[in-house]
Structure 1
């Protein structure tokens, strides 16, 4: 337990990680501020000292994970010319699908105040799906300039189709549906083909 008055490095990330562990282990009903701080080995009142209640905490957790994936996607244009186009697109699609545990998405969708905060933040420009879509379009444009995509390829539409579908899969993956990763892989193949390697990249984006 952290001593009173002692600053905790990376407190937000520590609390976010703890919340994800509680959700994965015990489900949404078990997620309370006390459960989170207990899992994080922090003082009981620490969450409310930094967040305006559990709804804001859940919203900030979702936004943090989206922003992290947006930062990863920002490195996608630098990968132009490496491996295959399909490999690179699948890497960012899987990064987005893996950005949040399905239990976190399910929780946010059942808490109207948290959902509203997320939507308002994204509409105000918080890094999320729009930033990821822009990074994908920029990457595809770079591949087009290198001749690895046909000159007439509608790169903005491919980016929109990929991000829109992954968004849908992410929102629905907490229910009993087909493995969203397999669906994302098939979509990438439909959009740009399997490429010479025929295998998906597994390394993280820069």
Structure 2
């Protein structure tokens, strides 16, 4: 197998282990067993488990950053609240937050993740809100940067506290309060 295929296979296996066993169950052995390959495969592609987890996290954050950047294309369509709810639920259901929580739960790994990595997701939300503001769908005085930070932080909190059984209802509640402050 080529390295990109091996990386993707290991990344997907790590996500499955994380989902089924939680952060404590993620090890080189559990990931490679789930991927159906020898433990050495991980070490042939990454210096150690920390590097693997760092690369996994950065890869998943890049995917979500791209999705949030594309949210800007929805400006002016649907409702602002509806678009934010869809984006929020997608983030909660994506592996990016769960994988990031795994890395942050491991001492020493969080400094390997550039502080701006998760900020790219927040920036995508802020850019979307800014476009909606320029279209007149949000109040001109609304602080879209702060609103994006609050929504992102609230979503992260929901993840760390345990995604509710009905994530859509929880995100809708958050967005309703947020939009109330942006529309005034």
TM range (shorter): 0.7 to 0.9
Q: Which moved more, 1:150-159 or 1:67-76?
A: 150-159
Aligned-residue CA RMSD in angstroms?
A: 2.6
Q: Which whole-Å CA distance do the structure 1 matches of 2:172 and 2:130 have between them? A: 21
Q: TM-score, normalised by structure 1?
A: 0.74
Instruction: Give the structure 2 partner of residue 169 of structure 1.
Output: 158
Q: TM-score, normalised by structure 2?
A: 0.81
Q: Are the counterparts in 1 of residues 91 and 97 from structure 2 also a CA contact under 8 Å?
A: no
Corresponding residue to 1:186 among 173, 176, 180 = 173
Q: Are the counterparts in 2 of residues 90 and 188 from structure 1 also a CA contact under 8 Å?
A: yes
> Is the counterpart of residue 116 in structure 1 residue 111 in structure 2?
yes
Shift of 1:161: 1.2
1:180/1:47 CA distance change after superposition, 3 Å:
same
Instruction: Give the structure 2 partner of residue 201 of structure 1.
Output: none
Instruction: Give the structure 1 partner of residue 84 of structure 2.
Output: 89
Shift of 1:86: 0.6
Instruction: Give the structure 2 partner of residue 62 of structure 1.
Output: 57
Give the aligned length: 180
Shift of 1:74: 0.5
Superposed, 1:17-166 pairs within 5 Å as 17-100=12-95, 104=99, 107-118=102-113, 121=114, 123=115, 125=116, 127-128=117-118, 130-166=119-155
Segments of 5+ residues of structure 1 without an aligned counterpart are 1-5, 194-206
Q: Which whole-Å CA distance do the structure 2 matches of 1:70 and 1:31 have between them? A: 24
Shift of 1:28: 4.2
1:36/1:185 CA distance change after superposition, 3 Å:
same
SS at structure 1 position matched to 2:29 = helix
Q: Are the counterparts in 1 of residues 61 and 121 from structure 2 also a CA contact under 8 Å?
A: no
Relative contact order (C-alpha < 8 Å, sep 6+): which is higher?
Answer: 1
Q: Which whole-Å CA distance do the structure 1 matches of 2:98 and 2:3 have between them? A: 27
